[in-house]
Structure 1
Amino acid sequence: MDQIVDTVWARLHAGANAGKERSPFTMLQAATIALDGAPTVRTVVLRHASREQRSVMFHTDVRSTKVTELRRDPRISLVGCDLDGGIQIRLHGVARIVDAPAETREVWNASRPRTLIVYRTPVAPATPLASPAEAHATTQAEDLDSAAGFDNFCLIEVTVARIDYLDLNPAGHMRASLVFEEGKWRGTWIAP
């Protein structure tokens, strides 16, 4: 099981640190519990992975529905899939909304300008619009300041408690369930 734990965190780390060529684990599907109690899923970009802290992190707009959902119920599941390699990784954990400037400023400053443009939009995500142009950030000089949009920026840090690893190897499918308890990952094989 140690090798599987190594593989999972190596793939997550590669996803969070992808350069021009994205890793299959750069884009993850994040599932939360909607305000009406239904499941809801969206794609997020993995920005950081730490095996030592058992955590993964992504950015989002503090005005987004997912933040409201996570404030109500912090449970979250994330899934990534390498279709070519036949590997699926599911993470289950608890989210912490990091919207304190002292904690987010360093990540904001290290982010590419094109990543941050989404936080400069004048309307909250999922707001109905008459046209797509209404959602675009203004390009006036006063709004091009490097801090424009910072108030809408937050990080979601997920502490991972369980991992489901599936390898669809042609020689034989393998699936493992890993749970973090008593300071270490403990795993069992389960049927794929």
Structure 2
Amino acid sequence: MLIDLFNETWRELEDGTKKYGHPFRTCSLATAEISRGIRQRTIIFRELTKKKTLLFYTDLRSTKIEQINKNPDGSVLFYNPSIQLQIFISGKIKIHSEDSLWNDHFMNIEGRSINDYNTQYAPGKPIKNPIAVTRTKDLNFAVLELIPDTIEYLKLREEPSGIRAIFKLQDQEWNKTFLVP
């Protein structure tokens, strides 16, 4: 049964990037702030790689970049309300800018998505008028790659009290264990 839960986890993650409207398309990314603890934000899940790493896009000037540079530990939380499935993944985050992985994704930025990375000022800078954001030709684009080492699976709907499991990567193998829900 553990292998079924493990496989369901990867299948749901894959569906999150491939199926329109899947709830795993958006998730919460948590990183550490030196002075204020943990910082969370909702992001778009872009790709589950063949190596089972998770990719996300961001502005290279965002505060999360500085946080990850100081502490690469991070986590993401996914939730699918229709099946009451929560997936928590933690690991190390690697920042890609101007390498081959970055280039593959950079080439796909088009249309309105360009505006996510071409503002004159960094995200979070105070402005007077949200409609008059100045844009440049430069794209401040980065790819974040979460390399998982721990996955927690929790299905709330299962009887009698839910099913919970943890998968931990040790020596290139995923150890699988049930947990009390």
Common fold: TM-score over 0.5: yes
Indicate the larger mover: 29-38 or 40-49.
29-38
Does residue 184 (structure 1) correspond to residue 176 (structure 2)? The answer is no
Aligned to 1:169: 157
Indicate the larger mover: 103-112 or 36-45.
103-112
- CA gap 1:117/1:186 in 2 versus in 1, 3 angstroms: same
Aligned to 1:119: 117
* SS of match in other structure, 2:13: helix
Does residue 25 (structure 1) correspond to residue 13 (structure 2)? The answer is no
User: 1:123-151 CA deviation, whole Å, 9 max, x = no partner?
Assistant: 100001112124353xxxxx6xxxx333x
Please list every run of 5 or more consecutive structure 2 residues that lacks an aligned counterpart in the other structure: none
CA distance in 2, matches of 1:15, 1:183: 25
CA shift at 1:171, angstroms?
A: 2.2
Aligned to 1:153: 141
Aligned to 1:140: none
* Contact 1:17 1:47 (C-alpha < 8 Å) held by counterparts: no
Does residue 12 (structure 1) correspond to residue 13 (structure 2)? The answer is yes
Please list every run of 5 or more consecutive structure 1 residues that lacks an aligned counterpart in the other structure: 138-142
Does residue 66 (structure 1) correspond to residue 64 (structure 2)? The answer is yes
- Cα RMSD for the two superposed structures: 1.6
CA shift at 1:183, angstroms?
A: 2.0
CA shift at 1:182, angstroms?
A: 2.4
* SS of match in other structure, 1:47: strand
CA distance in 1, matches of 2:117, 2:61: 9
**Matched residue type, 1:132:** P
**Matched residue type, 1:161:** D
**Matched residue type, 2:37:** A
* SS of match in other structure, 1:126: coil
**Matched residue type, 2:146:** V
CA distance in 2, matches of 1:131, 1:39: 29
* SS of match in other structure, 2:24: coil
CA shift at 1:170, angstroms?
A: 4.4
Identity over aligned pairs, percent: 23
User: 1:67-87 CA deviation, whole Å, 9 max, x = no partner?
Assistant: 110000000010000112100
Aligned to 1:84: 82
TM-score (structure 2 length as normaliser): 0.92
- CA gap 1:188/1:170 in 2 versus in 1, 3 angstroms: closer
TM-score (structure 1 length as normaliser): 0.87
CA distance in 2, matches of 1:13, 1:149: 31
CA distance in 2, matches of 1:5, 1:74: 25
**Matched residue type, 2:169:** F
Indicate the larger mover: 156-165 or 106-115.
106-115
Off by >4 Å, runs of 4+ in structure 1: none
User: 1:55-106 CA deviation, whole Å, 9 max, x = no partner?
Assistant: 1010000000001100000000100001121000000010000012543222
